[in-house]
A and B are shown apart, each in its own frame.
Chain A
Amino acid sequence: MDSLMILQNIELQRGDFSLHVEQLEFKKGRIYLLEGPNGAGKSTLLQLLAMLMVPTKGMLCFAGENVINASQRQRLRRQITLVDQTPYLFDASVYHNLAFGLRLRNISGDLLNLRISQTLEMVGLSGFEVHQARRLSGGEIRRVALARAMVLRPRLLLLDEPNAGLDREILPIFEKCLATLPGQGTTVVIASHDRDQSRRLGGEVLTLNEGRLLSTSQNTLHQTLLRETGTA
């Protein structure tokens, strides 16, 4: 089974805005780039994928499980992490920010320290553990937010406009980090205006406009649904 998440006939209403996704599949260990103009629904779709929003209609499957209730969402959310376009760091040290999610997953002691230092090294912030989050620069905040998500080793990593506000010299480090994730089995979905990023990362492009998915290269969804859930 190489499918991680499947959406079918999804409808989501958020005020005046509505999102429709007929069918969409995210495979394990792949990178996807969500593109579209402002207000196309990229952030809404990411929030839906992060299970922070509940669709009004349709079916959402994660790791072969049809997600239908709140307790399921809360349990499965531990395998998904969303990094917002303006990430919020807790008013504590960088170490505490990274330890937050690990402690919720009962990871502590030496293993916790090791994962934190390894992840900070990956984003080019070695030795930043003791720094106070409130005293970091904009680019550092973004990298700590990415490290805080990556340290959890989620199966699905969602990034909303991760390039915005990122220093030009940091971008290669950042993309190098992202490129390693599919190899670790993580599926990455990036909402971005930078089309070249997809080419650089070798990802699949999904285009959204006015809340509708316009193009994907996916044509095997129906068969996958039949095979994995037997409900399609």
Chain B
Amino acid sequence: MDYLINSLNAALTMILHMDQEVLSAVSTSLFTSFTAILIAAVFGIPFGAAIGMWQFPGKRLTVTLLNTLMALPTVVVGLLLFGLFSRQGPLGPLGLLFTPWAMIAGQVVLAVPIVANYTLAAVAGADQRILPTAITLGAGRLRGSWQLLLEVRFGVMAAIVAGFGRVIAEVGVAMMLGGNIRGSTRTMTTAIALETSKGEFAFGLALGIVLMSVALIINLFLNMMQQR
């Protein structure tokens, strides 16, 4: 028990004194995750909305595929993108492997199915009168669809938060594509894995606390928006 309490004390001290190692891992995590979720939202929201709104042959299969992609193992995504970005791979000349951009690419692949699926669910569950109402007031299909997305904005925000939760907490992609390079691609999750294995439990705990706090702040923000 003393070990846990002492570690917690040490972890809180590191956070309060803004330990450089902790700060570096936190900023790398936040940068890669925010960038990835922004890109994933740009692709995932219209994709999910389109599937939710339109009827087309193969819709059921598309939804099943999207559901399957939500459970993609992070190491498999890491492995596939490693093949693409490695020196012998087709995107090797870009020199992205072991940079934050390779991690962002992997995280986008992880987040798009989640954002799209949650958006799809929000749109499919929306009031059926929204689109005809917008159209009868003079909107075209595109403006009407935008209005529908505005009406289900909390569902769309939940999609973004769920996607963010997935990418900020994942280890596989960050480890395989980032390489856990100190000061460059070391994120909170890879640092926790590495430092704990080296016996630096307090350091891992400090990052764990920050990680949980980020998740808490985002969920509180979402809750606050919903209550407005």
Which A residues contact B (CB, under 8 angstroms)? 50, 52, 74, 77-78, 80-82, 84, 86-88, 90-91, 100-101, 104-105, 148-149, 152
Contact = CB atoms under 8 A, between A and B. Distances in A.
B42 interface: no
B18 interface: no
12 contacts: A78-B138, A81-B137, A84-B129, A87-B133, A88-B127, A88-B130, A90-B147, A90-B151, A100-B137, A101-B137, A104-B137, A105-B138
Contacts of B127: 88
A104 to B, nearest CB: 4
A152 B151 contact: no
Contacts of B135: 52, 77
Contacts of A104: 137-139, 143
B55 interface: no
Contacts of A152: 137-138
Interface of chain B: mostly helix, strand, loop or mixed: helix
B132 interface: yes
Interface in B142-162: 143, 147, 150-151
**Most B CB within 10 A of own CB, among A52, A87, A88, A148:** A88
Greatest chain B CB density within 10 A among A80, A100, A152 is at A100
A181 B133 CA distance: 21
Nearest to B152: A91
A101 to B, nearest CB: 4
Contacts of B138: 77-78, 101, 104-105, 152
Interface string B107-146: 0000000000000000000010110111111111001000
B147 A52 contact: no
Given A52-B135, A152-B137, 6 more contacts: A52-B136, A77-B136, A80-B136, A84-B129, A90-B151, A104-B143
A178 B143 CA distance: 29
Interface in B138-190: 138-140, 143, 147, 150-151
A81 B136 contact: yes
A159 B10 CA distance: 70
A74 B135 CA distance: 8
Contacts of A100: 134, 137, 139, 147
Contacts of A77: 135-136, 138
A86 B129 contact: yes
A74 B129 contact: no
Given A84-B129, A86-B129, A104-B143, A91 B136 contact: no
B136 A50 contact: yes
Nearest to A158: B136
Contacts of A87: 129, 133
Contacts of A84: 129, 132-133
Contacts of A91: 150-151
A215 to B, nearest CB: 28
A148 B140 contact: no
